[in-house]
A = this chain, B = another copy of it.
Amino acid sequence: MQKNLHVSVLLDFYGEMLTQNQRALVGHYYNDDLSLAEIAQHEGITRQGVRDTIKRAEIQMFEMEERLGFIKKHREIDSALEQIRAAMTEIAEFNLRYGCSREINERAKMVYELTERLN
């Protein structure tokens, strides 16, 4: 079982749909970086039991993302926001450097259209 970093993200988004027990074991494994053996000892269950519980939880969360796509959507928004910030920085710079300029209007227009596509 290879630790998959993406599972931490799945846990952030979909962890609340898991049982408390699933959430705890997945969290120990992916966020607290414990081994299956360490978790098994800590929980008083078998290593195989820990592995099965984590695997089942992972599959459930992957399927939720397949169906709902909230992580994908979140990344699109994040990427858009990054562009917005970059544009804002440029607006401020052009404003300082050249005074009222064509570039300012172009940036403002681009940002406006970007946020409309986000809706």
Chain A positions near chain B (C-beta within 8 angstroms)? 13-14, 16-17, 64, 67-68, 70, 77-78, 81, 84-85, 88-89, 91-92, 95-96, 98-100, 104-105, 108-109, 111-112, 115-116, 118-119
Q: Are A84 and B115 in contact (CB under 8 A)?
A: yes
A108 touches B95 (CB 8 A): yes
Q: Considering the complex of A and B, which 10 residue pairs feature the smallest CB-CB distances, nearest first?
A: A99-B100, A16-B67, A88-B112, A81-B115, A100-B100, A91-B108, A92-B108, A88-B108, A84-B115, A95-B104
CB contacts (< 8 Å) of A16 on chain B: these are 67-68
**Cβ of A116 and Cβ of B68 under 8 Å apart?**
no
Q: Considering the chains assembled together, what is the distance between the CA atoms of A108 and B48 in angstroms?
A: 55
The quantity of this chain's copies bound in the complex is 2
A94 CB → nearest B CB, Å: 9
A92–B109 touching, CB < 8 Å: yes
A85 to chain B minimum Cβ distance, whole angstroms, is: 5
